[in-house]
Amino acid sequence: MRRMRRWLSGTGAAPLGNLNAQLRDEAWPPGIHPPADNNKEPSAEPGIHVTEEITGWFQQVLARTSAAGLTAFAGDGNSTAPYLTTRQGSRRFSAGIAHAATGSVQDAKYTLLGIPFVGTDHVFRLNGTRVEAFSGVHADLFGHLSLGLLEQYRSDVYALRSTWPSDTWDEKWNGPVSIHQDGSVLAMHMLP
């Protein structure tokens, strides 16, 4: 566990990656090589062995992929694309390419449980009842993400983690609201 903590905070030999920098599109040879057993070399297992030398890059991959998930959840493909490499699908979120998973548009703003959020909303029928679902991200945090300021986002979301409300119903919205620790929100209510 001690070694893992050191890797997660970086070392002089293997510093953490700059989260605001564009992600290098690297390919590491697959295969995890378990230790030899009785001088017999076992077969490689599927997967990638994250060694100390690549932990900075791997930490950057995880953080930027997570940021891409948040901006996509809020419906902003233009902010999503820069967080991904070509192999991860950045072109699917670039303007001009239509893809069913990227059809939502970040065009809605709501204050839920007293917190401003930006994102996208969808109307659908649930057993014949019209329902609106809103998915978004805390407005200030989304501002950092849309500008590529992932380090600032992480700092601010960490500071906010103990301030998120425990309520799950917003009277003004008239429906359930779920706020996640990463600053994302999903809210639903029935429409007349």
Domain tally, the chain: 1
E strand spans, the chain: 108-112, 115-126, 129-138, 169-170, 175-179, 184-190
Provide the whole-model pTM: 0.79
Give the span between the Cα atoms of 17 and 54, in whole angstroms: 9
Structural domain for 9, as ranges: 2-190
68-108 residue pLDDT tens: 999 989 988 888 888 888 777 766 666 544 434 444 566 78
pLDDT of residue 103: 47
pLDDT of residue 134: 95
Q: Residue 17: is its pLDDT beyond 70?
A: yes
| Nearest alpha-carbon partner for 23 in 91, 82, 94 | 82
Give the span between the Cα atoms of 31 and 20, in whole angstroms: 29
Going from the C-alpha of 101 to that of each of 70, 71, 77, 124, 130, the distances in angstroms are 14, 13, 10, 16, 22
| Nearest alpha-carbon partner for 93 in 106, 109, 111 | 106
pLDDT of residue 90: 65
DSSP, res 53: G
pLDDT of residue 97: 44
119-173 residue pLDDT tens: 999 999 989 999 999 999 999 999 999 999 999 999 999 999 999 999 999 999 9
Helix or strand or coil: residue 156? Answer: helix
Paired residues of 83 in beta bridges? none
**Please, are residues 33 and 44 in contact by the beta-carbon 8 Å criterion?**
yes
**Please, are residues 122 and 131 in contact by the beta-carbon 8 Å criterion?**
no
Query: What Rg do the C-alpha atoms of the chain give, in angstroms?
Result: 20
> Cβ atoms within 10 A of the Cβ of 76, count?
25
pLDDT of residue 106: 65
Q: What is the largest CA-CA distance in the chain?
A: 72
Output 24 or 156, whichever has higher pLDDT.
156
Going from the C-alpha of 46 to that of each of 21, 34, 54, 114, the distances in angstroms are 29, 11, 18, 47
48-63 residue pLDDT tens: 888 777 888 888 888 9
